[in-house]
Amino acid sequence: MILIKCASLLEENFSTRDELRDRIRNMALKEGYVTTIKKSKPGCYVIIGCDRGGKYRGTSVPLSEGKRMSGSRLVNCPFQMLGKKKVGQGDFTFDIKRDGNGHLTHLFFAHPSSIALTKSYSYVFVMDYSYKTNKYKMSLLDIVGVSSFNGSFYSCFAFMQKEEEGGYAWALERFKAILGPDQQPSVILSDRELALMNAIEVVFPGTTNILCVWHIRKNVLSKCKPKFEREQDRETFLSDWTNLVESPDESCFNEAWQHLQVDYKEKEFVRNYIKNTWLPFKEKFVKTWTGNHLHFGNRVTSRAEGAHAMLKRYLTVSTGNFHEVREKICLAIENQHNEIETKIASKKLRVIHKFRIPMFKELITHVSIFALSELLKQYELLTSSLLDPCRS
């Protein structure tokens, strides 16, 4: 009977390995059998069989005389089912773009698990490029999302021949389609890549584009460091720059900028570099403006760089074709998704003592610990009536 019932599964497709395992397990239990995973290879296949399958090796003692008289005993049950990962268009949402000669110039793709996470956590995304990932020397645009427990996840990818505004816009339109109708992120973090910044403004006019303050600091240091002979002067300048970037309101910002102009009046290059290169984008990185947007504390693109590093550990080489790269990216995403599911499940079971207050009564086990921590910080800030003073 169990063979007849399980035969109906041969015509079905399952979105995950766990879904297939649970379906077979439930069918078997109804008939009084227990199934287990006999063998599996992540991202490739899984073999599920009866827990009494196989036979004992290297023993001359009859089964009836053995010490173990309870639990599952091997009787060489032959029942097994093989589930293979389906390779093809069904695995990824994808789109391609070709030039006039039919050559591939853009390839966009997103894994089903990534799409689900993107729809669930659609507020903040980080965009950055990775290089040396494929034999065709195409740049890989990696879009990384932020989960409710402040973790990162792969949202989608786009191979691009050239880093131009039109190509960025094409990729962002596909990303927009994944988010769904009338959905726009609250914030997208990026570096000062003008083509990408322009594309974000066109495709997501209601989204705030925040620039990575770490990379800005790095660029400022690289350009201005040679203008200071003493290390102490360089450190003082960086401290003044930090005060400018972290200005809590416009008054403090104006005061910090005036301070820079006066103190470095003899450093014309430094003043002009800051004024012409960075101040036109001050609303995209200075705290007094970025603090008005829902970025959950994300003001750097380190998430994307961490995602690049993990991805390259899976790729191992930079000479793979698109099929090889796709398979390894798929494995990275599936492992990441399993880790996220495990983390979510564990967070639901854990209740920290400081959250056992009336205000959080209806939120515990329904809202992540990270989110509760942020709420508690805001509550304590509100009740303490502390103001962030100007720093100059």
pLDDT digits (tens, 9 = 90+) for 111-132: 999 999 999 999 999 999 889 8
Q: What is the mean pLDDT of the chain?
A: 85
102 φ/ψ angles, rounded to the nearest 5 degrees: 85, 10
Of the listed ranges 59-73, 187-201, 278-292, the one predicted with least confidence: 59-73
What integer is the mean pLDDT of 169-192? 95
pLDDT at 54 over 60: yes
Interval 196-225: pLDDT, tens:
999 999 999 999 999 999 999 999 999 999
86 φ/ψ angles, rounded to the nearest 5 degrees: -80, 125
Give the residue ranges of DSSP H helices in the chain: 2-7, 17-30, 112-120, 165-179, 194-203, 213-224, 231-245, 250-263, 268-273, 287-290, 302-315, 322-349, 369-384
Q: What is the pTM of this model?
A: 0.73
Burial (Cβ within 10 Å: 0-12, 13-18, ≥19) of residue 304: buried
Q: How far is CA 159 from the centre of its chain?
A: 17
Across 67-102, b (16+ Cβ under 10 Å) vs e yields eeeeeeeeeeeebebebebeeeeeebbeeebeeeee
> Helix or strand or coil: residue 354?
helix
pLDDT at 255: 96
Whole-angstrom distance, CA of residue 316 vs CA of residue 319: 9
pLDDT at 386: 57
pLDDT at 166 over 70: yes
Rounded to 5°, the CA angle 113-118-123 comes to 160
Across 173-212, b (16+ Cβ under 10 Å) vs e yields ebbeebbeeeeebebbbbbbbeebbebbeebbeebbbbbb
pLDDT at 67 over 70: no
What integer is the mean pLDDT of 263-278? 95
pLDDT at 348 over 80: no
Burial (Cβ within 10 Å: 0-12, 13-18, ≥19) of residue 254: middle
What integer is the mean pLDDT of 340-366? 77
